[in-house]
Structure 1
Amino acid sequence: MKSKFFALALAGGLLAATALAGAPAHADVKIGLLGGVSGPIAAMAPAMIDAAQLAFQQVNEQGGVLDGQKIVGAVGDSACSPQGGTDAATKAVNIEGVTAIVGPHCSGAVLAAAGSVTIPAGVTVVTPSGTSPEITGLADNDTVFRTVPSDDFQGRALARTLKAEGYSKVAVAYINNDYGTGLANAFKSEFEAQGGEIAGFAAHEDGKASYRSNLADLASGGADTLVIFDYGDGTGLTLLRQALENGFFEKFIGGDGMKSDAPIKELGAENLTTFYASSPVGEKSDALNVFNEAFKAAGGDPDAIFVTTSYDAAFLLALAVEKAGGDKAGIPAALRAVSSGEGEAILPGEWKKAKELIAAGKAIDYKGAAGDLNFDQAGDVPGAYSLFKVGANGFEVVSEMK
């Protein structure tokens, strides 16, 4: 989706900088939007950034934060890599002077950026799509949060779902990074605990021209189903293409990184009738309906992956900035306070109501588009996943994952 928010975010950086040059430093509150603009999830990132920008637009249209200041989304490219995440976070913190960060989008970028930049600087990050279980264990001084469940949850839920659907023997190919490793290990542990057989289990490196030998080794175990934990815009697409071309497997299952339009566009829906992918989904609620209508009206696709979690991360940070009075050090505690399960319910877009309640010293509880976001001690949240298939109009829900 090439929508106006993303284009404006990228094109407007110099204009924003020019405006800031002649204004007091407190004129705007900057929040970093560090996304995988380039790299293996480049096709997913624009919609995610657009969703976050929608939250900021709603805040600004309803009076802004604090004493009328505007929120400015400072877009950076974390490139879905550790180095890219570190570089983007360094710029956001040291040059842009951000108050907090939405992102980075990918687990490796989150871990690297947090460890080397944001934790030492005391800057809070909320990733909408960094799902590695390793994020849970960060010694982060309570500054790293996420609005998407850990892959430990996704991997185990996918394993249980496949076993219940009659899959008893599978092979697993996973990209050798924090995302792929965490998801694959969680899946393997649960699938075997459920009585399933892992007939092949192997990591692969990113960016190779051919994975035919990897696929042949995985197929030698006799499984007719390949589970791919990779990115549908990158190596995962190559694996899927070469597996289909060479007839190594009959059925294919992807994690959330594979739920991309790229395989459908490149390989054709008619060739993906046995391809399924898991993905986080917003729990059915009034909050989700409100977000869907607003995002659709802004030109977005509410069914795009991670748009609900991206919106929630941005709106939550705006609420936390308001609650903390703009104090960076107070944002973590404020995040928990505005989404604790107690207080007046706040739906997506209800900024004016939330601001008035905060000013009156009353408790609020943000009801997210992705579901209730009550952070645990590690900054993690519960969530919901579904299994999708490729249909005539893109991905369609097959079943809920539990």
Structure 2
Amino acid sequence: MALGAAVLAAVLVATACSGPSGNARSATVGASGDGVLKVGLLLDNSGAQGFLNDSEQAAAKLAVSQINVSGGLNSKPVELLPATPGADTTSQATTLAAAKADVVIGPTDSSNAAAAIRVLSKARIVLISPANSAPGLRNAASGGYYFRTQPAYTMQGQVLAKLAADIGPRIAVLHESGSYGSQISRAIAEALKETGPEAGAGTHAGMGTVVADAQANPGAEGDAVREVQNARFDAVIVVARGGGQLLLAKLANAGIPGSKLVLSDGATGDYGTGLASAALKGAKGVLPGIFPTADFQKQLLAHTPGLKDMTFAAETYDAVMLAALAATAADDDAGSSIAARLVSVSGGSGAGDNGGKTTSGTPCTGYPDCSELLARKQSIDYDGISGPINFDQNGDITAANYVSYSYGSDNRPAMSGTEKATAP
């Protein structure tokens, strides 16, 4: 989940003042754990978002159960520490640190990252968020203890550009004001510019051209829509979150058909009767991740009967698996050892592998297969339920999957395919 520019600035200032020095992702460390891998959950969702706690908790339980069925870490069961869903982030982090957690999964909201990093990195506890998407968090001063299995929201720029170019080469971007809109708009422009062979000196033949970059300021959305109308576009990319429905309604009122529209993750939703009939017919939308397979859903429901939503479940499951595999690779459960191996077991490059050495690993899925390779002293590349992951030296994933959706006459999205994006 994202956060605004002002909050992000506070995050970076807060973490810069409190995190340990150095970079645990590239450190050479010795064993210092107590022999038992302890996993904590920081479940920061409350109110209308409280349902997200259930899916994250279910996925963590499933992952820990599967690891323990396979023998745990060095024949000792992995422990999933008690959680306090919805409690204050700082108090949750403090409680988990006191319980000697080695790794904590969470938080969901990017605006809570600072508080969690401040407490946990000081205690040298790895923090892996399954949901933080604010791009600026890659610069959070965690001392190398912060990772995330969710892509920064700017990575979708490549996918949005491709889907729009499939409609036609002249692309208009209509984005809300604020960091989310402006940063994704820039990512779209970069994706269009960098794709395709060079056409000659001073020119670049990409897959499309941005013919309008219209910012929809509050109260002036109509002006932005008129700017788009005048641009002789083939496709319109709508980048919005809370104001998405208003922008889509104004586009429909302007006579722009749904078949010309591509919606960012924040704008992709079930609008139903909230928009005029068939306003979005033919529109495309995207959401990060991969729709859970039937087998994964079945396993989740077996551990948590009645689970109604699986948002961030795959990312949470992968976070736990990666932490266990990093501990297995290090033959140690300490947070510092896990942080030093997470990049390498994910198949990433840069810092990692205990001293910054990384090699191309053997692709594997699931704890039994991956841990067997590690037991044979082979490097691994864990391919997760959520995607390939491949952490970089900042703890960000460098390869991400997106689900694409198509809208029908009822203004409701239906899954239509998958797309991939890689970090620039």
Query: Structure 2-normalised TM-score?
Result: 0.66
Cα deviation, residue 227, structure 1: 0.9
In structure 2, give the amino acid aligned to 1:55: A
Conservation of the 8 A alpha-carbon contact between 2:37 and 2:78: yes
2:414 is the alignment partner of 1:395: yes
Alpha-carbon distance between aligned partners in 1 of 2:250 and 2:86, rounded to the nearest angstrom: 30
1:227 is paired with a residue of what secondary structure? strand
**Matched residue of 2:168: which SS?**
coil
Cα 1:190–1:356 shift into 2, 3 Å: closer
- Supply the AA of the counterpart residue of 2:214: G
Shift of 1:215: 2.6
Say which of 157, 160, 163 aligns to 2:159.
157
CA contact (8 A) 1:129 1:306 kept: yes
- Identify the residue that residue 187 of structure 1 maps to in structure 2: 188
Partner of 2:401: 384
Retained in 1: the 8 A contact 2:40–2:82? yes
Q: Match for 2:211: what amino acid?
A: E
2:142 to 133, 140, 162: 140
Q: Secondary structure at the match of 2:288?
A: strand
Residue 331 in 1 paired to residue 331 in 2?
Answer: no
Aligned match of 2:198: none
| RMSD between superposed Cα atoms in Å | 4.3
Q: Which amino acid aligns with 1:254?
A: L
**Where does residue 111 of structure 2 map in the other structure?**
108
Q: Over alpha carbons, which structure has the higher Rg?
A: 2
Structure 1 residue matching 2:315: 3-state secondary structure: helix
**Aligned CA distance change for structure 1 residues 256 and 44 (closer, same or farther; 3 Å):** farther
Gaps of 5+ in 1: 1-24, 204-210
Does 2:205 correspond to 1:196?
no
2:388 aligns with 372
The percentage of counterpart residues that share the same residue type is 25
AA at the equivalent of 1:389? S
Match of 1:166 in 2: 168
Flag the 1:162–1:38 CA change in 2: closer, same or farther, 3 A.
farther
Matches within 5 A, 1:191-230: 194-202=208-216, 213-223=219-229, 225=236, 227-230=238-241
SS at match of 1:183: helix
1:102-131 deviations in Å (ceiling 9; x for gaps): 222233333x24653333332222222322
1:43-76 C-alpha deviation (Å, 9 max, x unpaired): 6554344333321222233333344233315545
SS of 2:239's equivalent in the other structure is: strand
Q: Is the 8 A contact 1:171 1:198 kept in 2?
A: yes
What is the aligned length? Answer: 353
Q: 318, 322, 328: which is aligned to 1:322?
A: 328
Residue type at the aligned position of 1:321 = A
The equivalent of 1:9 in structure 2 is: none
Q: Deviations over 1:158-204 (max 9, x none)?
A: 12331332273534333745x5553343235545884212342146x
Q: What are structure 2's unaligned runs of at least 5 residues?
A: 1-32, 195-207, 230-234, 348-358
1:371 aligned counterpart, secondary structure: coil
Q: Is the 8 A contact 1:74 1:96 kept in 2?
A: no
After superposition, the Cα gap between the structure-2 partners of 1:365 and 1:36, relative to the gap in structure 1 and judged at 3 Å, is: same
Give, in angstroms, the shift of residue 282 of structure 1: 4.2
Q: Which amino acid aligns with 1:385?
A: Y
Could you tell me how far apart the structure 2 residues matched to 1:199 and 1:105 are?
Answer: 31
Contact 2:40 2:101 in 1 (8 A): yes
Q: 1:71 to 1:253 in 2, by over 3 A?
A: farther
Residue 209 of structure 2: SS of its match in structure 1? coil
In 2, Cα distance between the equivalents of 1:259 and 1:36?
24
Of the three residues 58, 70, 75, the one matched with 1:62 is 70
Greater share of helix: 1
Q: Deviations over 1:70-100 (max 9, x none)?
A: 3315545579xxxx6x536634544554321
Partner of 2:3: none
